[in-house]
Amino acid sequence: MNVAFFITPKSECKYVYDYWTMRQAMEKMEHYRYTSVPILNKKGHYVGTLTEGDLLWKLKNSGDLDFRHTESVMLKDVPLYTDVKTISVDGEMENMIDTSLSQNFVPVVDDFGIFIGIIKRRDIIAYLSRIIKNRNDSGATV
């Protein structure tokens, strides 16, 4: 099965841009109650995933930075501590499952690196759960 079946399209995703400020990103993440969001550049390429931890480490490691001043810090100046792997829209299930083991979502890109959506770990687990249930209902061993 192709991973395209699992994609939450970009139009339904929340993301931030690398030219935004820390404050803009923090407010968006707070509003949607997300702990991580994809970061895109102006051309729509996926450039990384911003986490709450990235924001907290930036605050901690910038001696003179407080919340009021986060509006002057660009996201491109916030170090990302996790290298979130992407998969291609025509990738295979095995890659999607392996990648999801260490991430809450898997960013999906096209052949040009353009962000087209995400695959949520919850959707992958639900799919695998259905497979196990169907095998159990049919009497097959897992």
Q: How far is CA 51 from the centre of its chain?
A: 9
Identify the domain containing residue 82 by its residue range: 3-138
pLDDT of residue 96: 83
Nearest to 18 by CA among 33, 36, 35, 40: 40
Instruction: Write down the pTM of the prediction.
Output: 0.87
Nearest to 18 by CA among 106, 60, 79, 91: 79
pLDDT of residue 137: 84
Mode of pairing for the β-strands spanning 87-88 and 105-109: parallel
CB 134 within 8 A of CB 127: no
pLDDT of residue 95: 79
Residue 140 in this model has a pLDDT that exceeds 70: no
CATH number of the domain bearing residue 31: 3.10.580.10
Q: Report the C-alpha gap between 87 and 103 in whole angstroms.
A: 12
Confidence of residue 79 (pLDDT cuts 50, 70, 90): very high
Beta bridge partners, 87, equal 108
CA 45, 16, 52, 5 dihedral sign is: negative
Give the 3-state secondary structure of residue 116: strand
Give the 3-state secondary structure of residue 136: helix
pLDDT of residue 94: 79
Q: Report the C-alpha gap between 123 and 105 in whole angstroms.
A: 9
As for how many domains the chain has, the answer is: 1
Q: How far is CA 68 from the centre of its chain?
A: 27
